[in-house]
Chain A
Amino acid sequence: MALATATALAATLAACASSDSDSGSSSGDGTVSGEVSLLTPIFEGSTGKELLEGTLLPEFYEMYPDVKVNIDYSSYSKLNTKLTTSVASGLVPDVMLMGVGWIENFAKNGVLADLSSLGLTEEELSATHSSMVVNAGIYDNKVYAVPIMLDARFGVARMDLLEEAGYDHTPTSIEELREMAKALTVRDASGTMTRAGFDLQSNDSRQVFETFLFSGGGDLFNEDITAPAFNSEAGVEALQLMSDLVLVDKVEDVGYSSTDATVNPLINGRAAMGLAHNNLWTQTLEADPEMLDNLEPFLIPGDDPSMFFGGTLATMSSKSKNPEAAQALLEFLTSAGPALAANEQRGNIPALDELLTSDYVTNNRFVQFAMENLDVAKHEGGPAEWLEIRGNFTPAIESALLGQTDAKSALDDLAATSLATMDSN
C-alpha cells in the first residue's frame, strides 16, 4: 500500500515537476539527471554515514544513474545556523531534512517547495501516515514536507522497582503518579538522593513540559495559531505539577540528572520512573540488555493522556536547479525501505504506518508503543516564529522548577514574549 503510494508520489512529483522545470535537468529520454545537494541531520553519525553512502545511495543510483547527490552532514544542534546561512547566501540545498516545528518558518519565507502544488495532497499522505504526523509537514493548508522519522517522549517505569515497592502497574492518574513517585524515591542516611521517584531532567525541559501539557488536554497555541495557549489552565497545571514533583514531593533533586548525563538513570536504577525518549530502548540494549524486560512505557495520565513527538521531515528547495532529481531523492528517502533503515540506525519511530509490522518495530517495544499511540500524540510548533520562541521556554520552565517564580507568572511572561515575537513578524 505504502509502496504503491510512494511510487505514485514519485510519479506525481516527477510528472508535475517536469512541466514546471526550465532547468533542463531531464536528459530528455525520460530519465532524471543532474546534481543535487542533500543537507541531513539524521545520518551524521558513523553508522548513519555508512548506511547512507554505503547502502542507500547505491540503491538510489541504481534507480537514477544520472543523478549525483552531494551530501552535507550536520548535527541538529547546528542545523538552524546552517540553514540560516544557506538561505541568506542563496545557496539552499536541494533536499533538506529538518525537524518538526521547523517547516512553518522556512515555508513562510518561501524557501521550501510547495509539494501540494505538485500533486501531493494531505489526503494522500494521510492514507499512509497518522494524520498528526502529516500535520507536522503542513503550513497554510499546503504540504511542504514528508515525514521520515519520529521521536516520542512518554513515561517509562522500572517495573522491578515498582514491584519492590508494592505496585504492579504504571500510574493511572496524576495523583497516583505523585504518590508512587514519592514512595519510590530513596535517599541515604545523609539525605542524599540515591533514587529519583520520577526523573524529569534527563530530557529537554521544554519537551517534558509539552508532554505534561498535551496529557492535560492543553495546546501550545490557539486553533488559528494567532496566540499562545500554553499559559491556559492546562498549561499552568502542567508546569505546577512539574514544579510540585521537584519542590513539594521532592522526587528528584535539581541537578540529579541532565540531558548530558552519561547514562539515563532509568537504566541503572537511579530513577524508578521518568519521562523518556523512545531511544532509551536502544541505549538499554547496548548498556544492559537484561534490563529491557523491566522497562514499561506508559502515557502520562492526565485529562487527555498523550505524548509528545518530534521528528525529521524531508523538504525540497523552492529554487532547486534540478527539481526532478531533488524530487526523486525526496521520494526515495521517504519511501519504506530507506525510512526503515534510517529509523533503525537511530532507534526512532518510522512515520509510515505500514512499518508497524516490520521486524524492527515489533522487536522494539518502545517504538511499537509510540506507533500504536501516534493518534493521541501531539507535536510542537505552529507559528512561523516557533524557532525563535522555543528558545525562551527553558529559562521560564527552569525558573518555576527552581522556585524562583510561580508557574502562572512564568507562563504568562513567556506567552507575552511569544506573542510579541509573533506580532513583530
Chain B
Amino acid sequence: MSAATAPAQTEKTTPVVMTKPRSKTRLTTSLTLNVVLILGSVLMVMPFVWMIVTSLKSPAELALADPTFFPSTWEWSNYPEAMKAAPFLLYFKNSFLIAIGHTAITLALGSMAGYSLARLPFRGREVIFMGFLAMLMIPTYTKIVPQFLLVKFMPLFGGNDIFGQGGSGWLNTWWALIIPGGLTASSVFLFRQFYTSLPKELEEAARLDGLNEFRIYLQIYTPLMKPALATVGLLTFQESWNNFLWPLLVTTSDSLRVIQVGLAVFRQLESTSWSFLMAGTTLATVPMVILFLFCQRYFVQGFANAGIK
C-alpha cells in the first residue's frame, strides 16, 4: 500500500461521514449476511448433531418408520459398550502417534522444500515444481501397490538383505505407518505458495546482516508463516487421523491398528451397528474438533493467504 492511497481509504471507512440511509442499508446487508451464515452453519453442523443423537439411540428406535430427532430414551451406555468392542485406547494412541509423526515431518521437511522452491533460484526449479503439481493429479489408489512394494522390499529391514529380499521389510512396523505418509506433494505445494507471498526485501535485509540461507528460512521467513504452519499442520493431522486403507494394508497386528480401522468392527458386510458406530465416530472426531478450536484463527488466515498467489 502506498502512502498516497492510505489516507483516502481511511477517509472512506471513517464512521463520521456515514449517512443515515447508508447505515440502514448496511444493517440490512449485515442482517441478511448473518441469516445466510446462520443457515449455512446449521446445515454444516446438522450431520454432526445427527451423528451424536444417533449414537444415543437404541436399535429399536433406529428402526422406527418415522424417526424422531431426539432419542426417547438416551442410551448413554452405547459409549462404554462401543469402547468395549475393541481396544480403542490403543487405537487412539496409535492414531495420535502416527498423526503427530506425519505432522512433524511435514512441517519440518515440507516447509524446507516449499522454501527452496519459492525462494532459492536454482536450475530446474520450475521443472521440479511442475513435478510436484503433477504428483497432485495422481489418485491415491493407483499408488497403493507400488508404495506397498517399496515398503515390503526396504533393504536391511525386517529380515531383508541389501537387495530388499528375504524378509518383510517395513511391513507391520511403525516405519510403514509413519514414513510413506510423512510428506505429501500438496503440503510442499502449499508451503511454496505461502513462501512466495512473502516480500523479497526481508531476504535481502537478512543477507545484508550476514544470515546464511538456513537462518533466513528458520528465523526470518518461517516465523511469519504461522497461518501456513497451522493450515498445513491441521490438514496433515486430519488426513493422517482419518487414514484407513494404508494402515489396514501394511499392518497385520492388532497392536499397530488405528482408530479408523478399529471403527470398522461395527460395520460388517451383512449389517452395521449404527449406534455403536456413531458413538465411536463421535469420540474419534473429538481430537480433530479440539485441534481446530485451538488453530481456527490461523487456519482461516492460512486459507485466505493461500489464495493470494
Contact A91 B171 (CB under 8 A): yes
Q: Is the CB of B252 within 8 A of A85?
A: no
Whether the pair A46, B144 counts as a contact (CB closer than 8 A) is no
CA distance A181 to B268 in the complex (A): 30
What separation, in Å, do the CA atoms of A270 and B149 have in the docked complex? Answer: 48
Q: How far is the CB of B55 from chain A (nearest CB, A)?
A: 12
Q: For residue B251, which residue of chain A has the nearest CB?
A: A72
Interface residues of A in 280-303 (CB under 8 A from B): 282-283, 286-288
Contact of B65 among A45, A91, A269 (CB under 8 A): A269
B residues 226-250 touching A (CB-CB < 8 Å): 245, 248-249
Docked-complex contact A286 and B270, CB < 8 angstroms: no
Mark out the residues of chain B between 147 and 169 whose CB falls within 8 Å of any chain A CB in the assembled complex: 148-149, 152-153, 168
Looking at B10-18, B56-64, B216-224, the stretch in contact with chain A turns out to be: B56-64
Interface flag for B269 (CB, 8 Å): yes
Report which of B64, B148, B266 forms a contact with A85, defined as CB distance below 8 A: B148
Q: A269-B65, A277-B270, A346-B270 are known contacts. Are A82 and B249 too (CB-CB below 8 A)?
A: yes
- A91: which B residues are within 8 A, CB to CB? 152, 168, 171
**In whole Å, how far is A163's beta carbon from the nearest beta carbon of chain B?**
18
Which A residues touch B26, using CB under 8 A? Answer: none
Contacts of A89 in B (CB 8 A): 148-149, 152-153, 171
Find out whether the CB atom of A72 lies under 8 angstroms from the CB atom of B252. yes
Question: Which A residues touch B63, using CB under 8 A?
Answer: 262-263, 267-268, 287-288
Within 8 Å of chain A (Cβ to Cβ): is B274? Answer: yes
Interface residues of A in 35-92 (CB under 8 A from B): 37, 41, 44-46, 48-49, 70-78, 81-82, 84-85, 88-91
Q: Known interface pairs A279-B270, A287-B62. Does A46 touch B85 (Cβ–Cβ under 8 Å)?
A: yes
* Given known A89-B152, A268-B63, A346-B270, contact A75–B264 (CB-CB < 8 A): yes
Q: Does B267 contact A (CB under 8 A)?
A: yes
Does any Cβ of B come within 8 Å of A347's Cβ? yes
Decide: A81 and B144 in contact? CB cutoff 8 A.
yes
Q: How far is the CB of A411 from chain B (nearest CB, A)?
A: 26
- What residue in chain B is nearest A285 (Cβ atoms)? B59
With an 8 A cutoff between CB atoms, is B86 at the interface? Answer: yes
Chain B hits for A81, CB < 8 A? 144, 245, 249
Is there an interface contact between A78 and B268, defined as CB atoms closer than 8 Å? no
Q: Binary interface profile of A, 315-352, with partner B (CB < 8 Å = 1, else 0)?
A: 00000000000000000000000000000001110000
Q: How many residues of A contact B (CB 8 A)?
A: 42
Known: A75-B268, A78-B245, A279-B270. Contact between A70 and B60, CB under 8 A? no
Closest residue of chain B to A348, judged by CB? B270
Q: How far is the CA of A70 from the CA of B171 in the complex (A)?
A: 14
Complex CA gap A412/B84 in Å reads: 50
In this complex, how many residues of chain B approach chain A with their Cβ under 8 Å: the count is 34
Distance, CA A306 to CA B85, complexed state (A):
38
Q: Determine if B73 is an interface residue (Cβ-Cβ < 8 Å).
A: no
Mask, A82-124, CB within 8 Å of B = 1, is: 1011001111000000000000000000000000000000000
In the complex, whether A151 has a CB less than 8 A from a CB of chain B is: yes
Contacts of B271 on A, CB cut-off 8 Å? 279, 282-283, 347
| Chain A residue contacts of B64, Cβ below 8 A | 268
Cβ-based interface call for B265 (8 A): yes
- Shortest distance between the CB of A91 and any CB in chain B (Å): 6
- CA of A228 to CA of B287 in the docked complex: distance in angstroms? 51
Residue numbers in A under 8 Å from B254 (CB-CB): 73
Q: Distance in Å from the Cβ of A252 to the closest Cβ of chain B?
A: 15
B243-287 toward A: CB 8 Å interface, digit per residue (1/0)? 001001100111000000000111111111010000000000000
A-B contact pairs, 27 of them (CB 8 A): A44-B264, A44-B265, A45-B265, A46-B84, A46-B266, A49-B86, A71-B252, A75-B268, A76-B269, A78-B245, A81-B144, A81-B245, A88-B148, A89-B149, A91-B171, A260-B272, A262-B54, A262-B272, A262-B274, A263-B63, A267-B63, A279-B270, A283-B271, A287-B60, A288-B60, A288-B63, A346-B268
Give me 18 other A-B pairs in contact (C-beta within 8 A), A82-B248, A89-B153 excluded.
A44-B265, A46-B84, A46-B85, A46-B86, A46-B266, A70-B253, A75-B268, A75-B269, A76-B269, A82-B249, A85-B144, A85-B145, A89-B149, A90-B152, A91-B152, A91-B168, A286-B59, A348-B270
Residues of A in contact with B (beta carbons under 8 Å apart): 37, 41, 44-46, 48-49, 70-78, 81-82, 84-85, 88-91, 151, 260, 262-263, 267-270, 277, 279, 282-283, 286-288, 346-348
